[in-house]
Structure 1
Amino acid sequence: MNTSPRNIPWGALGPWLALLVTCLFFTTQSERFLSAENLSLVLQQVMVVGVIAIGQTLVILTAGIDLSCGMVMALGGVIMTKFAVHYGLNPYVAIACGLAVTTAFGLLNGLLVTRAKLPPFIVTLGTLNIAFAITQIYSKAQIIPNLPLELTALGNTFNLGQAEVSLGTVTMLVLYVVAWFVLRDTAPGRHLYAVGNAPEAARLTGISVDRVLITVYAMAGLFYGIAALLSVARTGVGDPNAGQTENLDAITAVVLGGTSLFGGRGIILGTLVGAVIVGVFRNGLTLMGVASVYQTLITGILVILAVAADQMSRKGAR
């Protein structure tokens, strides 16, 4: 099988069609949905999950999964804000410390998967609980307010026509473009796809499978740290209770975006579309007055349908 990211099956088109149908449906249900203000709001609402989902995509492309992403993000946000507010550290140094901690958690996940040969599901389930406990203990379960402007700068907006676009949204889009280029046009990107598709075959061609996996998990941790900064910028506080649903939301975005849970197949821009689909559904249902519990129900159904479609696609490719 060709493992190149340039050769993606129907999953590359499916998410775009799903997004189009979803937008058309909600346009008929609410006249507010298609307004520039509302669409820009959707992007602001998905920017945190969207950036987490970049890291999650990298992991899933290697046939792994990372359940710890939301809690690691929350820990990163608490580190950044507490260092800056309570210890008076330079805000940029505080941000760097937060990114270092989330990257270290990703590195830990990678080492446990490769060196200890533990299943990614079990490893990241464990580090999820560790990150949650550390976050609650270190913050004493208290929100951290009064942040310096440097930590909230990415929450600022600028006018683009009638829409207000946040700097965080721009940051998310730039990160997707960079990730798309790396996965599509560089040797590390091709190696990642090769490892996800057939690790033993990749090893026989001279690719260091363990090195690829460790790098992927560490990079995922870095993306969780960037997402933490975006979360802090959007809310204006360091919140130890953040990230409790972001892991499932990120996995949902990846699956809806057409990336196979079995690894080796998918496209990063599909993940962006998947994140937007989740945001559009929740926004549209809110405009329709649908209770949040039903929004969660529909999201779960979407995930099952996307995984079922992936299964059928794999069987058809054999």
Structure 2
Amino acid sequence: MLALVVACLFFSAQSPRFLTLGNVSLITQQVMVVGVLAIGQTLVILTAGIDLSCGMLMALGGVTMTLLAGKAGMSAPVAIAAGIGATTFAGFLNGWLVTRVKLPPFIVTLGTMNIAFALTQIVSSSQTVTDLPQLFTTLGTTVPLFGTRIAYGTVVMLLLYGLAWWLLRETAGGRHVYAVGNNREASRLSGIDTERLLLVVYTMAGALYGVASLLAVARTGVGDPQAGQTENLDTVTAVVLGGTSLFGGRGVILGSLVGALIVGVFRNGLTLMGMSSVYQILVTGALVILAVATDQWSRRHA
């Protein structure tokens, strides 16, 4: 929170447009996709795993649902369900390979990231999908609130964070996620079905990536096969900046929302300052290194 406040103060001093209500609304709209992806990434990282495929799965889900609705003539609700179903199945596949085949999460998700990217390009012929039904853009529309406008997608993101916070804090399954992240073998010996839990976590993460793909389509109004190429770095940055340890077992889901806002504030502020997008990526990389270094220091100190 302190880093977020300092960043806001810095960019407000650099540009008078930064703290305007319209720009704050824009930041929340820009953050909603990464924010939802970060929920799934947080669940995976809490179990001491990592998911490098989140951005590409989001792109695959978006292209799937838009192609089915825009080209195949399928009804919008069914097409959306099919797109979310595709990412959910991909998440299940990640979990199955981690738990049954005993492959490291890094290798598994690196492989599925490349597979998802290739499938996205193949099924879309690398072409943007347009002329979508109105339902696809509903979550991208805004409503007036406190003198500004907020997107329905932002509300969906906040509701999902509230649900994830409740599940992790108030349910036995949520506590088991932390336990497995702290010590998987000890959790297994204490009676927790660790393989089943990990399979559920990766599957839930896949479903969340599908929701994020719908939000991305709603925000842009098209199915973009080039989407999602930096979101894996953005989500890891958001999660680690939010206080979740890359070694698992420690973190608060709401911290990932703060981390996503930090990423969004930096990118928006640098844009207002006229900085190239290359420098935005550079700053994002520096932020994740700083956050991991801080996590390492706090673990050694503890």
Provide the TM-score with structure 2 as the length reference.
0.99
Q: What is the identity, as a one-letter code, of the residue corresponding to 1:61?
A: L
Segments of structure 2 that go 5 or more residues without pairing to the other structure are: none
Aligned 8 A contact 1:37 1:162 in 2: no
> Residue 125 of structure 2: which of 111, 116, 140 is its match?
140
**Which among 34, 44, 64 is matched to residue 49 of structure 2?**
64
**Residue number in structure 2 paired with 1:180:** 165
Identify the residue that residue 289 of structure 2 maps to in structure 1. 304
Shift of 1:302: 1.1
The SS at the match of 1:237 is coil
CA distance in structure 1 between the partners assigned to 2:104 and 2:72 by the alignment = 38
- Other structure's SS at 2:66 match: helix
Aligned Cα root-mean-square deviation (Å)? 0.8
Aligned residue type for 1:38 = N
1:194 to 176, 179, 182: 179
Aligned residue type for 1:306: A
Matched position secondary structure for 1:159: strand
Q: Is the 8 A contact 1:106 1:221 kept in 2?
A: yes
SS at match of 2:143: strand
- 1:122 pairs, out of 88, 93, 107, with 107
Partner of 1:279: 264
2:29 aligned residue (38, 44, 55): 44
Establish whether residue 205 from structure 1 lines up as the match of residue 202 from structure 2. Answer: no
The CA deviation string for residues 259-305 of structure 1, in whole angstroms up to 9 with x for no partner, is 00000000100000000000001111111122221221111111111
* SS of 1:87 mapped into structure 2: coil
The aligned runs of 1:241-280 (5 Å cut-off) are: 241-280=226-265
2:223 to 222, 238, 241: 238
The equivalent residue for 2:137 is: 152
Letter in 2 for 1:43: T
1:152 Cα deviation from its structure 2 partner: 1.0
Partners of 1:277 and 1:39 in 2: CA distance: 12
Aligned length, in residue pairs: 302
Give the AA of the match of 1:222.
Answer: A
Deviation at 1:162, TM superposition (A): 2.6
Among 80, 95, 101, the residue aligned to 2:86: 101
Report the AA paired with residue 119 of structure 2: I
Please give the TM-score of this superposition, normalised by the length of structure 1: 0.94
What is the CA distance between 1:240 and its match in structure 2? 0.8
| Inter-partner Cα distance in structure 1 for 2:238 and 2:196 | 26
Query: Percent same amino acid at aligned positions?
Result: 68
**Aligned equivalents of 2:218 and 2:44: distance in 1?**
26
1:135-162: CA deviations, max 9, x gaps?
1111111111000011111011011133
TM-superposed deviation, 1:249:
0.7
Deviation at 1:23, TM superposition (A): 0.9
How far apart, in 2, do the equivalents of 1:20 and 1:201 lie?
39
State whether residues 50 and 272 of structure 1, in contact with CA within 8 Å, keep that contact through their aligned partners in structure 2.
Answer: yes
Match of 1:171 in 2: 156
